[in-house]
């Protein structure tokens, strides 16, 4: 089985939410070198404060759509393993659909081609998204669920997955695709492109009403970010994952209304909740099937949602007030 000892590792999107936690997880391994690249579109260098304390860690401000810059970094740093987590997020794709789609596919295209043409074997672990499934036709949603993306972001991730898989089938690149469901936890972007959890926490901390779109009965499957990071490393370390797409999820549906009200309780907010019209492309139901992850990895979501949300809220209280 592949080990991390002595490996030179690259994380794209390394200053982002999941990427920075992945860097932390990788630095608990005996890697020789860890290089994080990020253009800081959403990522923050402050997310890497812990990683920067390690002499093995290198950060480079680099746009992954820059083929020559990315290739030169991979060659110069003699990279053995790439974890591809750079992405333009869902919310941005509603404002700039064409640009978002092109950026996400271009990044995956660049990495796949660099891996294919490299002078040495490079393993690619590519990050997908449960958004590629659209709204659940059945639950739990396994990896064979039809791809019915509702947004340009979701379409770009589906296209990227198919591109990586095509390189695996035609060129034999060493790869696996990790498909996380809804990640939450410390460091998630709380700004204009924020997800529901950080956006709600920030609203309440700033003295505004929390917002629920539609009726709040739509569900998501939330997985704590450290679980995603740790198990992504595990996917690399298991040869049986090659050529596979693997869901990482809690296997539980939580209505958005329950999420919002739970955050209100954690922050002792007793005010009104504002209900707004449904957002375009919003999916109705998500619940991940993790049978494949259990079979291949003995997967288990270690952090329970109730504990994870407490840790998440406390982090934002400590860092955003």
Give CA–CA dist 321/318, Å, rounded.
6
- Give backbone dihedrals phi and psi of 225, rounded to 5 degrees, phi first: -60, -35
User: What are the Cα distances from residue 170, in Å, to 36, 112, 277?
Assistant: 29, 12, 45
The span from the CA of 253 to the CA of 222, in Å, is 8
- pTM of this prediction? 0.97
Q: Are 181 and 223 in contact (CB under 8 A)?
A: yes
Query: In angstroms, rounded to a whole number, what is the distance separating the alpha carbons of residues 128 and 141?
Result: 15
Contact 140, 289 (CB under 8 A): yes
Choice among 67, 133, 153, 316 that is catalytic: 153
**Tokens standing for residue 15:** 């200053």
pLDDT score at 50 = 97
pLDDT 10s per residue in the chain (321 long)? 789 999 999 999 999 999 999 999 999 999 999 999 999 999 999 999 999 999 999 999 999 999 999 999 999 999 999 999 999 999 999 999 999 999 999 999 999 999 999 999 999 999 999 999 999 999 999 999 999 999 999 999 999 999 999 999 999 999 999 999 999 999 998 877 678 999 999 999 999 999 999 999 999 999 999 999 999 999 999 999 999 999 999 999 999 999 999 999 999 999 999 999 998 889 999 999 999 999 999 999 999 999 999 999 999 999 987
| pLDDT score of 28 | 98
Of 233, 187, 182, the C-alpha closest to 42 is: 187
Residues sharing a CB contact under 8 Å with residue 85, sequence separation 6 or more, in sequence order? 11, 12, 13, 14, 16, 18, 19, 22, 127
Query: Is the Cα torsion angle 236, 242, 243, 247 positive or negative in sign?
Result: negative
At residue 59, the pLDDT reads: 98
Active site residue 153: yes
- Which two tokens mark 272? 């009104």
Report pLDDT for 190: 83
Question: Looking at the chain, how many residues does it have?
Answer: 321
pLDDT of amino acid 280: 87
In CATH terms, the fold of domain 8-181+224-249 is Rossmann fold (3.40.50)
- The edge-to-edge listing of strands for the beta sheet with 245-248 is 57-61, 33-38, 8-12, 81-84, 123-127, 174-180, 245-248
Which segments within the chain are labelled E, that is strand?
8-12, 33-38, 57-61, 81-84, 123-127, 174-180, 182-184, 211-213, 219-220, 222-224, 245-248, 254-255, 274-276
Task: Give me the residue spans of the domains in the chain.
Answer: 8-181+224-249
Residues 6+ apart with CB under 8 A from 248: 178, 179, 180, 181, 223, 227, 228, 231, 232, 288, 290, 293, 299, 301
């Amino acid at each position: 089985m592949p080990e991390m000892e002595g490996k030179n590792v690259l994380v794209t999107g390394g200053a982002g939410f999941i990427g920075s936690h992945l860097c932390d997880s990788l630095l608990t391994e005996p890697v020789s070198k860890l290089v994080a690249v990020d253009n800081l579109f959403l990522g923050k260098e402050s997310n890497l404060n812990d990683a920067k304390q390690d002499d093995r860690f290198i950060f480079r401000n680099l746009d992954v759509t820059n083929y020559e810059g990315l290739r030169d970094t991979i060659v110069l740093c003699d990279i053995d393993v790439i974890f591809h987590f750079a992405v333009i997020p869902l919310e941005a794709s509603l404002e700039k659909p064409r640009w978002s789609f092109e950026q996400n596919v271009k990044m995956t295209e660049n990495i796949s081609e660099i891996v294919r043409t490299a002078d040495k074997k490079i393993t690619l672990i590519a990050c997908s998204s449960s958004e590629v499934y659209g709204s659940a036709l059945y639950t739990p949603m396994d990896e064979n669920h039809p791809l019915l993306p509702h947004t340009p972001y979701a379409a770009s991730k589906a296209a990227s997955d198919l591109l990586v898989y095509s390189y695996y089938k035609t060129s034999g690149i060493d790869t696996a695709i990790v498909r996380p469901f809804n990640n939450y936890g410390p460091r998630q972007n709380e700004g204009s492109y924020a997800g529901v959890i950080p956006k709600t926490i920030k609203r309440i901390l700033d003295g505004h009403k929390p917002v629920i779109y539609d009726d709040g009965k739509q569900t998501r499957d939330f997985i704590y970010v450290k679980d995603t990071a740790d198990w992504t490393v595990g996917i690399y370390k298991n040869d049986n994952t090659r050529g596979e797409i693997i869901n990482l999820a809690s296997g539980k549906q939580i209505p958005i209304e329950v999420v919002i009200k739970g955050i209100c309780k954690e922050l002792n907010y007793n005010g009104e909740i504002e209900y707004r019209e449904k957002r375009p492309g919003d999916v109705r139901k998500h619940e991940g099937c993790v049978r494949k992850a259990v079979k291949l990895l003995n997967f288990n979501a270690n952090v329970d949602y109730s504990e994870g949300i407490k840790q998440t809220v406390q982090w934002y209280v400590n860092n955003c007030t």
